[in-house]
Amino acid sequence: MTEQFSRLHDVFNTKHLFVITSHVNPDADAIGSEVALALYLKGKGKEVRIINQSITPDHLLFLTKLFPVHTYNSDLDLHILDADCFCVVDTNSPKRFSAMAETVAKSNAVKVCIDHHLEQESFADLYVIDTDVPAASELLYRIFTDDDPALITLPVATALYAGIMTDTGSFKFPKTDAETHLITAELLKRGVDPYAVYQEIYESGEINKLHLLGKALECIEVHYNGRVACMALPRSVFTETRTTEADVDNLTQYVLSIRNVVVGLVFIEQPDGVKVSLRSKGEIDINIIAKKFGGGGHRNASGARLKDITLADAVTALLTSIKEIV
């Protein structure tokens, strides 16, 4: 990692115009990482713009008050083409920022990828990837401290904290270790208010979101002697509850909450197919299954998008495929 860190510092020190992006449907680690990196680079006197494919969900808007986040449209292409450094955080797959991927490929900017997911794809000039850290935000903390800890101001620390808190499931997911807690302690020492961040992210929802959750919980089914739990949401639940897919948050925790369940699947019907989130406990490698369906992620947490398939057929296909590993 030391080698990659110093190459990254070289790029950061020699380039001036930066564009940062992350994945479609950004979560708090995506936006937290982007905002923290943008503020850090600004602290080094750089010009920075964050451009995302999707809009920022309501519960993460507080992060965009720390640094603006633009939603991509072709008018922004010139910024991507003009940039001399293009940074991708919290994903390593151009498919996950596909709307602007073509422009990015045309740009002469040095492409940097800072991430913690498996199966890196070939598109960047420099990869700083650590699949052992629970959050891209944790990796960024290490990058910043390796350069100059003074650049971790309170807004930077707040953005990093949001990413680490959410990607560790509030400090409980498997990759949470002593280092994560030590880093978190450093962020708190810089003045981060953990309850304020928690409230913004988890205590600022609408009642419709709970009605959606109610319907989602009601449809959970178990298979294979209770070892696999499945939740399958048709698009109609969003109209019924006056919600959108952006209101779906971490539903996988509920399928995994059942005793003896080792694999949890959450399906959400899309206009052009089905999106599935896959989770597993312990040694079960769910990423193998996600890859079979053109997706990917981590051993215990992956995702895939199945095109031109009904919800019912997607459930059957996944359950059939999973049989061999449970």
Q: How far is the CB of 188 from Mn ion (least distance, A)?
A: 20
What CA–CA distance (Å, rounded) separates 266 from 248? 11
Q: Helix count (H) and strand count (E) of the chain?
A: 14, 12
Q: What single DSSP character describes residue 170?
A: T
Q: How far is the CB of 139 from Mn ion (least distance, A)?
A: 9
Closest residue by beta carbon to Mn ion: 29
Cβ proximity to Mn ion, 29 vs 34, nearer residue = 29
Q: How far is the CB of 116 from Mn ion (least distance, A)?
A: 6
Tokens representing 66 are 């720390």
Q: How far is the CB of 47 from Mn ion (least distance, A)?
A: 26
> Starting from the edge strand earliest in sequence, which strands make up the sheet with 126-129, in order?
69-71, 47-52, 17-21, 85-89, 110-115, 126-129
What CA–CA distance (Å, rounded) separates 274 from 289? 15
SS3 28: helix
What CA–CA distance (Å, rounded) separates 261 from 134? 22
What CA–CA distance (Å, rounded) separates 39 from 58? 21
Chain residues binding Mn ion by CB under 5 A are: 29, 90, 136, 167
Q: How far is the CB of 94 from Mn ion (least distance, A)?
A: 17
Cβ proximity to Mn ion, 147 vs 167, nearer residue = 167
Cβ proximity to Mn ion, 77 vs 130, nearer residue = 130
Cβ proximity to Mn ion, 164 vs 237, nearer residue = 164
Cβ proximity to Mn ion, 19 vs 30, nearer residue = 30
Q: Decide if 79 contacts 51 (C-beta within 8 A).
A: yes
Cβ proximity to Mn ion, 29 vs 147, nearer residue = 29
What CA–CA distance (Å, rounded) separates 270 from 314? 11
Q: How far is the CB of 281 from Mn ion (least distance, A)?
A: 19
Cβ proximity to Mn ion, 169 vs 205, nearer residue = 169
Q: How do beta strands 228-233 and 263-270 pair?
A: parallel
Q: How far is the CB of 115 from Mn ion (least distance, A)?
A: 8
